[in-house]
Amino acid sequence: MSLKVYIPCDAAAVCVGADELVAAFEAQAAQRKLEIEIVRNGSRGLLWLEPMVEVATPNGRVAFGPVEDKDVASVLDAMIADGPHDLRLGIADDITWLKKQTRLTFVRCGIVDPRPVEDYVAHDGYKGLTRALSMDSAGIVADVTTSGLRGRGGAGFPTGIKWKTVADAQADRKFIVCNADEGDSGTFADRMIMEGDPFVVIEGMTIAGIAVGATKGYIYIRSEYPHAIIAMEEGIKAAKRAGWLGDNIKGSGRAFDLEVRVGAGAYVCGEETSLLESLEGRRGIVRAKPPLPAHKGLFGKPTVINNVLSFAAIPFILDNGAKAYADYGMGRSRGTMPIQLAGNVKFGGLFEVAFGITLGELVDDIAGGTFTGKPVRAVQVGGPLGAYFPPSMFDTPFDYEAFAKRDGLIGHGGITIFDDSVDMSKMARFAMEFCAVESCGKCTPCRIGSTRGVETIDKIRRGEQVADNLLVLQDLSNTMKFGSLCALGGFTPYPVMSALKHFPEDFGPVPQVQAAE
Amino acid sequence: MNAAYEPWSAARCTEIIGAYAHVEGGVIVVLHAIQHAFGYVPEPAIPMIAEARNLSRAEVHGVFTFYHDFRHEPAGKHVLKICRAEACQAAGGDALTARAEQQLGVKLGHTTADDRVTLEPIYCLGLCATAPSAMLDGRIVGRLDEKRMDALLVEAQR
């Protein structure tokens, strides 16, 4: 007999032993003279179950997880016999945590083999681009606008408006740039989709190119993501070989080409103008806006710059229609958001769902609270620049405006969970310290303010003139919020001020450990 | 110095710079390639890049020093990067960082006296649901606890 076994190649699976499992399964199979085909799929996003291994059966793929080296022999027995096993999770598609989701962007992630373009096409890939190739620019842009898609990188700017601006601009060259500088702690959706379904990003960017009249695109990936870099480079090669990229896409006469560029460890390069500077080979210094990148972007030319998840949402919209996407969501937040549950989390992973779900449902029901089993004290939503929310605010719906109303932001959709051992003035200090490390240095509030912020919080923690220094901290935060050029200095006050507002009891003298006599 | 890298050679550097001459705005691409070859960016490479790309030395030096990735001197034989970002902190990363510092006898950002291990902070590997995480010479490791960290430290000190 022959077995088809799926072992994820996603970095989150690899970091807990997926590569070693491949070797172990091959060794076991060889020992038993069993024919085995191992597919390195992406991750389905149930990361507490990684490495989650699946076997193809007539009834669907049966999952086991988390599988360790020592389990390989017994899991293989259970696979062959279709029998019980402690790690057996049943049919993968029927796992409740997956069934509760609305997967539009991540529909193929974890299911397909991310390498061959044929597998992508067999799972409805490139239908969006095929339709786009039969449309005119205005029609494609209108679809994107009607879908209500907003920038998934964090700013939430309507994607259709951005595209229209570039489409209307006159220039000898235009560019498409994909921001894959996913530096926010607690976020990994970009990494997962690039590793698990790279063609959806490539297709989304190609559609953007056709829509606005750009023939060249860049994907700027952070150097901390070596697996994603390889996956995208291989994906681009495969798409070129199959005629989905190049001078004459599938005989349409339209041209579009892509190139991967690797970052060099600067968080600020996730800011779009800083990223453009970096792409041009310069220091990642933020540009003042205007001019907007849509008018003067990469190399001074009109540029569409969007997040990975924004581009990855496009193929669904073009294939299924703008309305199919806009039917999900609430208020002005349309469609779905791939939410990432992270930190001290019991059921951590990627949960794609329509906007409108409450923070409490996500943290308590979906994520199951903390891994340590202690009560949740705070969650940080939206990465290092996002606010800390206490459980009393868990009724906040996941929606751009609802979070803004409560002095928070959904950012890139990451939720980092902390238990009751967290020291919130330490987290506030970290936010300032991180800003100081990563500031590009162009504007004073960010460059100097962050360092003064660290010093001020240190004074508070030492018990020096606490009331006065709290006022200084608030004043400083206001200056940074309103005086900084970009979101790094401008949003660092969110974690700081929210920590202070919701956890004031943590801002005072920290008990010193008594030195030994 | 890590045996995986080539010794400095101006001729080799010229060759690398030439290989990327066609890359528009490619200073960072070239710096990555030079570091990939030599393990760091040797100082003589800076004016060479400037010359080839018709930039000033100051401009290239500015780019080189802006980015955390580029090394000014060779790293230790092994490089251990420990994530310090929020999600890893929430999962107990601080205590593990302190443990690594204590066992190696160096602070983050430094190399052990025997040049075996360079210990560095990294801000997010995107492994935030399998935290705390680290990277040893490009290999990623998640769900670190004391036992797994100790094993990693032993491996790093080989």
Minimum Cα–Cα distance from B59: chain A residue: A282
Residue B36 clears pLDDT 60, i.e. is over it: yes
Residues in chain B, how many? 158
Q: Which of A506-510, B28-32, B56-60 is least confident?
A: A506-510
Structure tokens at A51: 């490495």
Contact A188 B129 (CB under 8 A): yes
Report the first-to-last Cα separation within chain B, whole angstroms. Answer: 14
Q: Which amino acid is at A312?
A: A
Cβ neighbours for B75, distance < 8 A, ≥ 6 positions apart: B2, B39, B40, B111, B118
Structure tokens at A261: 């560029």
- Calculated CA dihedral for residues A464, A468, A472, A474, nearest 10 degrees: 110
ipTM above 0.90 for this complex: yes
Which string of b and e fits B21-51 if b means at least 16 CB within 10 Å?
A: eebebbbbbbbbbbbebbbbbbeebbebbbe
Site from B24, B128, B136, B152 to mutate, A interface, most A CB atoms within 10 angstroms:
B128
Whole-angstrom distance, CA of residue A302 vs CA of residue B149: 48
- φ, ψ (nearest 5 deg) of residue A440: -75, -20
Say if CB A355 and CB A313 are below 8 A apart.
Answer: no
Contact A345 B129 (CB under 8 A): yes
Contact A11 B124 (CB under 8 A): no
Residue A1 clears pLDDT 80, i.e. is over it: no
- What is the pairing mode between strands A349-354 and A336-343? antiparallel
Residue B66, chain A, CB below 8 Å: the answer is yes
Residue B79, chain A, CB below 8 Å: the answer is no
CA distance B118 to chain A (A): 17
Whole-angstrom distance, CA of residue A315 vs CA of residue A298: 24
Mean pLDDT along residues A135-139:
97
| Amino acid A512: pLDDT | 62
Residue A385 clears pLDDT 70, i.e. is over it: yes
Q: What is the three-class DSSP state of A141?
A: helix
Q: Name the residue facing A16 among B24, B29, B130 (closest C-beta).
A: B130
Give A155's pLDDT tier (boundaries 50, 70, 90): confident
Mean pLDDT along residues A5-13:
98
Cβ neighbours for A121, distance < 8 A, ≥ 6 positions apart: none
Say if CB A12 and CB A47 are below 8 A apart.
Answer: yes
Residue B63, chain A, CB below 8 Å: the answer is yes
**Is A424-506 the same fold as A117-326?**
no
| Mean pLDDT (chain A, rounded) | 96
Cβ neighbours for A178, distance < 8 A, ≥ 6 positions apart: A201, A205, A217, A218, A219, A220, A305, A306, A307, A308, A311
Which string of b and e fits A206-239 if b means at least 16 CB within 10 Å?
A: bbbbbbbbbebbbbbbbbbbbbbbbbbbebbebb
- What is the pairing mode between strands B78-83 and B134-136? antiparallel
CA distance B81 to chain A (A): 10
| Amino acid A513: pLDDT | 57
| Amino acid B2: pLDDT | 57
Whole-angstrom distance, CA of residue A403 vs CA of residue A411: 10
Give A199's pLDDT tier (boundaries 50, 70, 90): very high
Q: Which residue reads 């339209």 in tokens?
A: A254
- What is the pairing mode between strands B78-83 and A216-221? unpaired
Residue A474 clears pLDDT 70, i.e. is over it: yes
Structure tokens at B74: 């060779």
Structure tokens at A332: 């002005």
| CATH code of the domain occupying A330-419 | 3.10.20.600
Specify the long-range contacts of residues A84-88, CB closer than 8 Å, at least 24 apart: A88/A62, A88/A63, A88/A64
Give A517's pLDDT tier (boundaries 50, 70, 90): very low
Paired residues of B135 in beta bridges = B81, B140
| Amino acid A503: pLDDT | 97
B62 interaction partners in chain A (CB closer than 8 Å): 282-283
Fold of A2-99: Glutaredoxin (3.40.30)
B126 interaction partners in chain A (CB closer than 8 Å): 11-12, 182, 187-188, 190-191, 224-225
- What is the pairing mode between strands A53-57 and A2-6? antiparallel
Site from A185, A193, A415, A422 to mutate, B interface, most B CB atoms within 10 angstroms:
A185
Paired residues of A370 in beta bridges = none
Q: What is the three-class DSSP state of A60?
A: strand
Mean pLDDT along residues A472-487:
96
Minimum Cα–Cα distance from B70: chain A residue: A264
Mean pLDDT along residues B148-157:
96
Fold of A117-326: Rossmann fold (3.40.50)
Q: What is the three-class DSSP state of A273?
A: helix
pTM for the model? 0.96
Whole-angstrom distance, CA of residue A185 vs CA of residue B123: 7
Q: Identify whether B132 is preceded by a cis peptide bond (ω within 30 of 0).
A: yes
What are the structural domain ranges in chain A?
Answer: 2-99, 117-326, 330-419, 424-506
Total Cβ atoms within 10 A of residue B3: 6
Mean pLDDT along residues A221-240:
98
| Amino acid B110: pLDDT | 96
Give B1's pLDDT tier (boundaries 50, 70, 90): very low
| Amino acid A514: pLDDT | 54
Contact A12 B70 (CB under 8 A): no
A11 interaction partners in chain B (CB closer than 8 Å): 125-127, 140
Minimum Cα–Cα distance from B63: chain A residue: A283
Structure tokens at B79: 């490089």
**A-B C-beta contacts closer than 8 Å:** 152
Q: Name the residue facing A191 among B89, B126, B131 (closest C-beta).
A: B126
Architecture of domain A424-506: Up-down Bundle (1.20)
